Structures are given as C-alpha cells and as structure tokens.
Amino acid sequence: MISSDRNNFWKDAFTLNGSVTPRVIPYVLAFSLIALGICVFAWFVERLFESRIGIILAPYEFAGVALGLLLVLRTNAGYDRWWEARVLWGGIVNQTRNLVISSLTYGPQDSQWREQVVRWTAVFPHIARCSLRGQPPSKEVVALVGEEVAKQIETSSHMPGYVAWRLGLLLEEGCQKFGMDRFAFRQIDEQRARLIDHIGGCERILKTPLPIVYAIKIRRFITLYLLALPLALLHQTESVWAILLIPTEVALVAYPLISLDQIGVELQNPFADRNLSHLPLDDISNTIENNVQGFLQLSEEQTSALPDSQVD
C-alpha cells in the first residue's frame, strides 16, 4: 500500500506511483482518438452536404450531472467496503492481543504451552491474509510452525478455521492438563471465537462484489456520454480550426470520469495486493506477530525475576 504525504500537494498532484492514471490513460486516449474521427467525419459531411452535425448542449449538461452522481455513489460504495474491511482487521489486531495477554496472565505457567499459544496466535493474521488473497501459507507461517504443519494448514478446508481450532485445543489442554480456571477459559475462548467472526466478515466482503449490473450500466453511460460529447461540442464551435481542440476537450472530460470508475474498482477488493490502496495486511500481520512475541518475552522476564516461591 502506498502511503501519501498529505502535506505535499505538488508531489501528490503529479505522482504516478499509486495513482489510477496509468490504468486509465489508454481509455482516455482511445476516446480522444474516437472524438478526432467524429470531428473529421463531421467536417467531411459539412463540406459535402453543407450541413453541420451537432447536439444541443443543454440536455447533455443534465446527463453529465446524473453521471457524476452515479460515479460518486459507486466510489462511496467501494470506500465503505474498504473501511469495513479495515475495521474488521482492527478487530483481529485487538482480539489477538487480548487472547495472548489473557492467556499469559490467567493461563498455566508451563513455558511450552505459553509459547505454543503465542505462536498459533501469531500465525492467525498471516493465514487470514493468505486465505483472503488465495495464497498458500506464507514464509512467516512456515517460520512459526514449521513446513510440515504449514502443509497441514494448506490442505485444510478453511485455513483460518484450522488455526482457530488448534488454539481451541491448546485452551482445552490448559484446562484439562494444567488446571486453568474455567472462567478464564471462557473469557479467552471468546476472544478466539471473535477472530472467526472477523475473518467471516472479510470473506463476506470478498465474495460479495458490487452488483455487476451496476458496473455495466455506469460504464455504458460513460461510453455513450463520451461518444456523444464531440457532437455537443461541435454545436458550440464556430471555427473549423477550433474543431481540432475537441479531442483534447474530450480527453479532459474522460480522464476524471474514467478515473472515478477505476477508483471504485480498486476499492471493491481491499485485500488483493494487486489493487491500488489495498489494506497493508503484511504490515498488520507482522505488527501482530511482533506484539504477541513481545508479550511472551515480557512475561518470561517478569517470571524469571520473581522468587521461586512466588513462581510456584
């Protein structure tokens, strides 16, 4: 994800990295060339038949307002999906931290059990990220649980669910083998269950794109609008040489319209790393892993500082 310095106006105004401009320029140029062809055709018609081709501009202005509103609605719908996904991942951040803190505070003091809980909790965001992107377990997962276990996760029917299940087994082991308090178990298990709720919300966004009929109608409207635009401009042009400027005017109109449409497309799937302004899931996952590992290290340092009688 490209982070922008919002105080640097000129840099943001002319940068191409992270912009939709490279993706929309071919369409803008295509409409500009089509407009040039329409202008040349109109010039020949005028020379041969002494009749000018044009469209009254007033109805066209109302159509432009309607098109702008449709594009804004689509962009807002895409942003709502992006923001909801970010809120869900904020929940994953909170739940993983709460799960580890509660486990280290109220769970058994067995070092191996505590380390396993932290490892599997750190695995969850990495696996959630890979699952939403349709990728196999990442190198971070292999480093945490080993290659063999990573293959078991990959072959499971639902990778995040498998990780949550292993966490549930560890919590049950804490009760059965180490005598963890049942009230603490229920509190910690509730945090684990919320992780599945959050990943389920992300999967709902991923598997429910914006209605295709909405995209078709908007793009059809854009196409008709831009194809008819040279005819509306011809009606306002008196000089033959001024007609040559019409393709440039069409390009200036096409650029923001097609850009808004493309922004809606980019925001529709906030998880795919091929999309612009996708959620920084790699950074979020690494942050969670560092946080929970830091909690384990802090807990070990405090435990080692206690007298032996208090540790027992």
pLDDT band with cut points at 50, 70 and 90 for residue 240: low
Question: Cβ(107)–Cβ(191) under 8 Å?
Answer: no
Cα dist from 36 to 32, 44, 53, 217, 231, whole Å: 6, 13, 14, 25, 11
204 pLDDT exceeds 90?
yes
Q: What average pLDDT does the chain have?
A: 87
> 305 in a domain, yes or no?
no
Say what the pLDDT of residue 286 is: 96
> 300 in a domain, yes or no?
no
pLDDT tens string 245-263: 888 989 999 999 999 999 9
> 128 in a domain, yes or no?
yes
Mark out the alpha helices in the chain (DSSP H runs).
Answer: 9-14, 21-49, 57-106, 111-133, 139-145, 147-155, 159-176, 182-207, 212-234, 246-268, 281-305, 308-311
> 10 in a domain, yes or no?
no
> Which of these, 253, 269, 271, lies nearest to 77 by C-alpha position?
269
Angstrom distance (rounded) from CA 80 to CA 211: 15
> 301 in a domain, yes or no?
no
Q: What DSSP letter does each residue of 93-137 carry, written as one string?
A: HHHHHHHHHHHHHHS---HHHHHHHHHHHHHHHHHHHHHHHT---
Q: The pTM is what? A: 0.85
> 12 in a domain, yes or no?
no
Q: How many domains does the chain have?
A: 1
Enter the tokens of residue 195. Answer: 């992780």
> 129 in a domain, yes or no?
yes
> 309 in a domain, yes or no?
no
pLDDT band with cut points at 50, 70 and 90 for residue 305: low
Contacts of 146 (CB under 8 A, 6+ apart): none
CA dihedral 302, 305, 308, 309 (to 10 degrees): -70
- Residue 18 CA, distance from chain mean position: 13
pLDDT band with cut points at 50, 70 and 90 for residue 241: low
7 pLDDT exceeds 80?
no
pLDDT band with cut points at 50, 70 and 90 for residue 134: very high
Angstrom distance (rounded) from CA 50 to CA 254: 30
Host domain of residue 184: 23-294
